[in-house]
Amino acid sequence: MDYRKSNAPTTTVTRDMIKLCEDTGNVYETVMIVAKRANQISVEMKQDLEKKLQEFASYNDNLEEVFENREQIEISRYYEKLPKSTLIAAQEYEEGKVYFKNPAKDKNNF
């Protein structure tokens, strides 16, 4: 899922843990699923930001470029305004967009 098109809230939202745990039956397993997805989103966001900022990288020390690099500042502000990766992951989990499986439970079924 594209995190830029997410409809996740930008502020903290109270969530019903009983409703969140219906799929797994375990609060801790649900939290781990959301946390792992949040890490994936965070890594993806960081790579995108670094790739965009790399275009503006200068390898010489010039004070004029430091003060005049407005594009780099705008890109950084855009990424700061995006919802946090944990909020995006929780929203995806609630909407059923996260695929997960527990290998320990699959072994017990065989």
Band of residue 8 on the pLDDT scale cut at 50, 70, 90: confident
C-alpha separations of 43 from 32, 49, 88, 101, 110 in Å: 17, 10, 13, 21, 35
Res 7 pLDDT > 80: no
* pTM of the entire predicted model: 0.78
Tens of pLDDT, residue by residue over 17-73, are 888 888 888 899 999 999 999 999 999 999 998 888 887 766 665 555 555 577 888
